[in-house]
C-alpha cells in the first residue's frame, strides 16, 4: 500500500494525538496552548482543502488548474464570489507582476532554461496587452516542457501520470485542465473564446482568442505544468521519506520517542526568549559570534560564505526538507546566485520568535554587473536535528540552520539590477 500524503497521515493520527495532548496538558499549560495552535493550524488546512475542492468543481471545467504554489488567499476569496467574479480574480492574479515574476524564477532552473527567452517575450507581450501574440508563445512553452520531460504531448497524455503529494496531480490538477483545453476543434469559428483551446489557437480554428482571460488561463496552465514536472523529479525521495515516517514503530522506537518527547517538554518549559535587540551593527569582527550555540553566530558564518561564494558550505546550512544530495543543493545555489556579489553585511536586529526560531534583520550591500545596491531582509534561523525536525534550542542533537528565504530575496535583487 502506498504511503499517505503528509496531511492525510497527520489527520489519521489526530485522534490518538489529541488524547495524548489532553493527558499531558493536564500538567502543562504550555502543552495545552501548543496543542490549541496545532488544532487551529489543522483547521486552517482543512478549510484550504475544502476551498480547493470547490475550485476544482467550479473552475477546472472552465480551463483553470490547481498547482502547488497557488495562493490559499485566492482560494478563500473564490469561495465567497460568484463564478464570474472568481474568473475576474483569477485573471488579475495570474497577470499580476509579482505572480509573473515568481513564475519567471522557474526558468532559471536547468530543467526549464531552454524556454526562458520565449517566456520573457510572452510576458513582454502580456504587459503590452498583446494577447494574440502572448497566448501561442505560452502554449509553445507548455508543449516543449511536457514533450521533452515525458516523451508525450501534453494534450495526448503527457501529464496523466499520478504524482505523489502535489496539487497538480489528481482532482483539479493539470491532467483535468489539459483535457478541457485539448478538446478537438474541427471547424473554423470566429466566435470569441475564453480559454486557450490549444488546437483552436495553434491551428487557427479559433482566431478570436485575444483576451486577457485567455492569456491568464494559459499562464495558469504553465504554472501547473512547471510545478508538476518539478514534483516528478523528486517524487522518489518524497515517497521514500513518507514510507519511512509512516512505518509502524517498534517498542524500542516508541520508548525512544517517549524519552525524546519528555526531553522536549522539559526543554520547552525551561526556555525563555532573550530580550529583543535592535539598532545593532554586528559584522564578522564581533567577538560574540564565536559561539555556534547562538543563532546569530551561525548566521554570520552563513553571510561570510555568501561573501566568499562558498556554495557547498551554504548548502550545508540550508534547511532542505527533501534532503537532496549536498552537491545538488550547492549546484542549485550556484545557479540561483550566479552573477551577484555580496560586498558587505551587518546584522541589525535579533529576535527570538519561539523556542526553535530566531529572526535576524540583515543589511547587505550587493553588486550585479557593476551596479550596486542595498538589501534589507529577514534571515530566519531554525534549530533542528540533522533531518530538519524542529527541536528546542540547546538540545544536544541539534544545530542552527538557515531558512532559504534570503537567497530568494538576493535572486530578486539580482533580477532587478539586471533589468536596470
What's the confidence (pLDDT) of residue 222? 97
Give the C-alpha separation, 122 to 169, whole Å.
26
Q: How confident is the model at residue 254 (pLDDT cuts 50, 70, 90)?
A: low
Q: How confident is the model at residue 31 (pLDDT cuts 50, 70, 90)?
A: low
Task: Choose the weakest-confidence range: 158-162, 214-218, 252-256.
Answer: 252-256
- Per-residue pLDDT reduced to its tens digit, 285-319: 886 677 888 999 999 999 999 999 999 999 999 99
- Per-residue pLDDT reduced to its tens digit, 54-111: 999 999 999 999 999 898 889 999 999 999 999 999 999 999 988 998 898 889 888 9
**Rounded to whole angstroms, what are the CA distances from 294 to 64, 68, 329, 360?**
47, 34, 25, 12
Residue 16 has pLDDT above 70, yes or no: no
Average pLDDT of the residues of the chain = 87
Give the C-alpha separation, 13 to 8, whole Å.
9
Most confident of 12-16, 22-26, 31-35, 239-243: 239-243
What's the confidence (pLDDT) of residue 37? 66
Give the C-alpha separation, 312 to 317, whole Å.
9
CA end-to-end distance (rounded Å), the chain? 54
What's the confidence (pLDDT) of residue 34? 63
What's the confidence (pLDDT) of residue 374? 95
What's the confidence (pLDDT) of residue 290? 74
What strand order describes the sheet that includes 371-384?
340-352, 357-368, 371-384, 399-402
- Which residue's entry shows cell 470569441? 192
H helical segments located in 161-294: 174-181, 198-202, 212-233, 235-246, 251-270
Give the C-alpha separation, 369 to 420, whole Å.
10
More confident residue, 242 or 15: 242
More confident residue, 133 or 232: 133
Give the C-alpha separation, 383 to 404, whole Å.
14
Q: Sign of the CA dihedral 303, 304, 305, 309?
A: positive
Give the C-alpha separation, 227 to 230, whole Å.
5
Task: Choose the weakest-confidence range: 1-5, 200-204, 230-234, 401-405.
Answer: 1-5
Give the C-alpha separation, 282 to 280, whole Å.
6
- Per-residue pLDDT reduced to its tens digit, 354-398: 889 999 999 999 999 899 999 999 999 999 998 888 888 988 889
What's the confidence (pLDDT) of residue 140? 96
What's the confidence (pLDDT) of residue 49? 87
| Domain-wise residue ranges, the chain | 6-238, 274-419
What's the confidence (pLDDT) of residue 136? 97
Task: Choose the weakest-confidence range: 39-48, 303-312, 408-417.
Answer: 39-48
72 Cβ neighbours under 8 A, 6+ residues apart: 48, 51
> CATH class for domain 274-419?
alpha beta
More confident residue, 242 or 132: 132
111 Cβ neighbours under 8 A, 6+ residues apart: 149, 229, 230, 233
Residue 24 has pLDDT above 60, yes or no: no
What's the confidence (pLDDT) of residue 408? 84
User: What angle, 0 to 180 degrees and rounded to 10, lies between the N-to-C axes of helices 212-233 and 97-105?
Assistant: 30
More confident residue, 270 or 91: 91
- Per-residue pLDDT reduced to its tens digit, 150-187: 988 888 777 888 888 888 998 899 999 999 999 888 89
What's the confidence (pLDDT) of residue 380? 94
User: 371: which strand partners?
Assistant: 368
Residue 406 has pLDDT above 60, yes or no: yes
More confident residue, 405 or 58: 58
Mean pLDDT of the 115-121 span: 95
- SS3 category, 162: coil
Residue 353 has pLDDT above 60, yes or no: yes
Q: Sign of the CA dihedral 416, 327, 361, 279?
A: negative
What's the confidence (pLDDT) of residue 184? 87
Q: How confident is the model at residue 2 (pLDDT cuts 50, 70, 90)?
A: confident
**Grid coordinates of 324:** 537532496
Query: Per-residue b/e over 78-111, b at no fewer than 16 CB within 10 Å?
Result: bbeeeeeebbeebbebbbeeebbeebeebbbeeb
Give the C-alpha separation, 11 to 260, whole Å.
22
Amino acid at each position: 500500500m502506498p504511503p499517505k500524503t503528509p496531511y492525510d497521515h497527520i489527520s489519521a493520527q489526530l485522534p490518538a494525538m489529541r488524547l495524548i495532548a489532553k493527558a499531558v496538558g493536564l500538567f502543562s499549560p504550555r502543552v495545552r496552548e501548543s496543542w490549541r495552535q496545532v488544532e487551529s493550524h489543522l483547521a486552517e488546512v482543512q478549510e484550504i482543502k475544502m476551498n480547493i475542492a470547490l475550485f476544482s468543481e467550479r473552475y477546472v471545467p472552465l480551463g483553470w488548474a490547481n498547482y502547488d504554489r497557488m495562493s490559499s488567499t485566492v482560494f478563500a476569496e473564490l469561495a465567497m464570489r460568484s463564478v464570474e467574479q472568481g474568473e475576474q480574480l483569477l485573471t488579475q492574479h495570474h497577470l499580476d507582476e509579482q505572480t509573473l515574476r515568481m513564475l519567471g524564477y522557474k526558468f532559471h532552473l536547468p530543467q526549464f532554461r531552454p524556454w526562458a527567452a520565449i517566456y520573457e517575450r510572452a510576458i513582454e507581450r502580456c504587459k503590452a496587452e498583446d494577447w494574440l501574440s502572448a497566448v501561442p508563445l505560452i502554449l509553445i512553452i507548455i508543449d516543449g516542457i511536457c514533450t521533452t520531460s515525458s516523451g508525450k504531448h501534453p494534450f495526448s497524455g503527457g501529464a496523466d501520470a499520478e504524482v505523489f503529494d502535489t496539487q497538480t496531480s489528481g482532482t483539479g490538477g493539470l491532467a483535468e485542465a489539459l483535457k478541457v483545453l485539448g478538446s478537438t476543434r474541427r471547424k473554423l469559428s470566429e466566435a470569441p473564446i475564453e480559454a486557450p483551446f490549444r488546437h483552436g489557437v495553434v491551428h487557427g480554428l479559433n482566431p478570436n482568442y485575444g483576451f486577457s482571460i485567455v492569456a491568464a488561463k494559459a499562464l495558469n496552465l504553465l504554472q501547473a505544468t512547471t510545478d508538476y514536472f518539478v514534483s516528478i523529479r523528486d517524487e522518489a525521495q518524497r515517497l521514500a521519506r513518507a514510507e519511512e515516517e509512516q512505518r509502524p514503530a517498534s517498542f524500542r522506537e516508541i520508548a525512544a520517542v517517549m524519552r525524546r518527547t519528555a526531553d522536549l517538554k522539559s526543554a520547552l518549559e525551561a526556555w525563555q526568549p532573550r530580550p529583543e535587540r535592535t539598532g545593532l551593527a554586528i559584522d564578522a569582527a564581533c567577538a560574540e559570534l564565536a559561539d555556534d550555540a547562538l543563532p546569530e553566530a551561525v548566521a554570520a558564518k552563513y553571510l561570510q560564505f555568501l561573501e566568499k561564494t562558498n556554495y557547498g558550505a551554504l548548502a550545508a546550512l540550508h534547511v532542505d526538507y527533501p534532503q537532496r544530495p549536498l552537491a545538488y543543493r550547492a549546484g542549485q545555489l550556484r545557479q540561483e546566485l550566479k552573477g551577484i556579489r555580496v560586498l558587505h553585511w551587518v546584522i541589525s536586529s535579533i529576535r527570538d520568535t519561539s523556542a526553535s526560531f530566531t529572526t535576524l534583520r540583515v543589511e547587505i550591500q550587493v553588486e550585479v554587473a557593476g551596479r550596486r545596491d542595498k538589501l534589507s531582509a529577514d534571515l530566519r534561523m531554525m534549530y533542528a536535528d540533522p533531518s530538519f525536525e524542529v527541536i528546542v534550542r540547546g538540545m544536544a542533537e541539534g544545530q542552527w540552520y538557515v531558512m532559504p528565504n534570503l537567497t530568494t530575496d538576493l535572486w530578486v535583487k539580482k533580477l532587478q539590477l539586471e533589468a536596470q
